[in-house]
Amino acid sequence: MSAAEGPLVVGVDTSTQSTKALVVDVATGKVVASGQAPHTVSSGAGRESDPRQWWDALREALHQCGDAAREAAAVSVGGQQHGLVTLDAQGAPVRPALLWNDVRSAPQARRLVEELGGPKAWAERTGTVPGASITVTKWAWLAEHEPESVRAAASVRLPHDYLTELLTGVGTTDRGDASGTGWWASGTEAYDEEVLGHVGLDPALLPRVARPGEVVGTVRDAAGLPFAKGTLVAPGTGDNAAAALGLGLHPGTAVLSLGTSGTVYAVSTRRPADPTGTVAGFADARGDWLPLACTLNCTLAVDRVATLLGIDREAVEPGTSVTLLPYLDGERTPNLPHASGLLHGLRHDTTPGQLLQAAYDGAVHSLLGALDLVLDEESDRSAPLLLIGGGARGRAWQQTVRRLSGRPVQVPEARELVALGAAAQAAGVLTGEDPAAVARRWNTARGPVLEAGERDEAALARIAGVLSDAAPLLERGSDRR
């Protein structure tokens, strides 16, 4: 292990496809060791994972870190949001976890919105108008389709809660991840007993919501974990709140995250409540807010189009008049959970590269459409957009965002920002610092800035027109659904 200038901490990112662990020097932000292990997602009617795979992957990732993990003084877990983890009285999963991108609960989402006052009431109450991604709708789906699973559940957790509890033996969550459930009231910052009662979920089954900066426990003696006795455990948080910590965001700085899903968000000092449901009024992990819009189809959808065309993901060509809405998994923004992909304007002279560029355009259009709703008067709309996630280093993604936004784009050099944000939170509980200030001290947002170009208004108008005209067809969904 490289010599460290300060104590070491571990930041974890348990995402849809894998779990990553970073060992970070608190003094410098240097990553001194890392590990990663995969887990699987079902490919059937829904999107599910066995939570025990996350624990196995965490143990493997930590072991890959070697002696550095043993020297860590604190650990924090950032995790994919919204997943519904149901555990029995022995702490074992009752069934596989329903993940954020499982859209089977769309009918329950519509019903819950109607039954509890409509979109405006939900936005003011919880910050978010429930769609199929939100956890409360998944519980409602489970109660309707698998009542035996509901009866067997002795505790209900989110993915990051599950791993934190295995580390400490204590059930806790944080405000950032709790705010994505639909049963946490953003106005009172407490569980909403009326919502819980309406869906038949006993609040005693839920974890305690820890305060920002709180030490929620120490790593217990659990077989196979390379931590020293007494290693502190921070509250952890959801992946987007962790990435915001990892960037050390100031209020008003816009972020576009290009991963399996696409997100746009910014830290705000004002509690958001968007009655259209486009913007989720999430809390951040510090005490502020994280208005966020999310699309289900981003890098995986575009990569799938490239595979179908038999070309490289970077083999885009300009000059297309084709519109491709890559809603291969349904869509969250716009709210079309049963939609499928739609292609419009195909001609004899259309090339594979132009079709691929149209897929990029369709994916980015959905994100930029929500950006103005995410940003508020604190935001500098001429400042560079921070581009993060797995697609951020792809030239085609960078150029598409620049062309359709008309704004400069900055690509942070730091990788694994969710795990870095978790590490910053772990450093904060160790030293008493603000974790965002820790990340700024680590200079995690440093990276090249690509200058703004002319905004492609014609492409934006063409895509918006096709989306408007096709809305009835998209809302009906494909025949096989």
**Which residues have a catalytic role annotated?**
239
Spatial neighbors of 464 by CB under 8 A, at least 6 apart, are 365, 369
User: E strand or H helix at 301, and its extent?
Assistant: helix 299-309
DSSP 332-380: TTTTBTT---EEE---TT--HHHHHHHHHHHHHHHHHHHHHHH--TT--
d(C-alpha 164, C-alpha 171), whole Å: 8
d(C-alpha 266, C-alpha 251), whole Å: 7
Task: Name residue 448's amino acid.
Answer: P
DSSP 375-440: --TT--TTSPEEEESTTTT-HHHHHHHHHHH-S-EE--S---HHHHHHHHHHHHHHH---HHHHHH
What CA–CA distances, in Å, run from 206 to 37, 154, 174, 294?
28, 9, 12, 25
Q: Report the 10 Å Cβ neighbour count for 473.
A: 12
Contact (CB, 8 A) for 77 and 426:
no
Phi, psi of 122 (to 5 degrees): -65, -45
Task: Name residue 160's amino acid.
Answer: H
Contact (CB, 8 A) for 333 and 339:
no
d(C-alpha 365, C-alpha 325), whole Å: 9
**Burial state string for 184-201 with b = 16 or more CB within 10 A and e = fewer than 16:** bbbeeeebbeebbeebeb
d(C-alpha 197, C-alpha 209), whole Å: 19
DSSP-derived letter for residue 144 is H
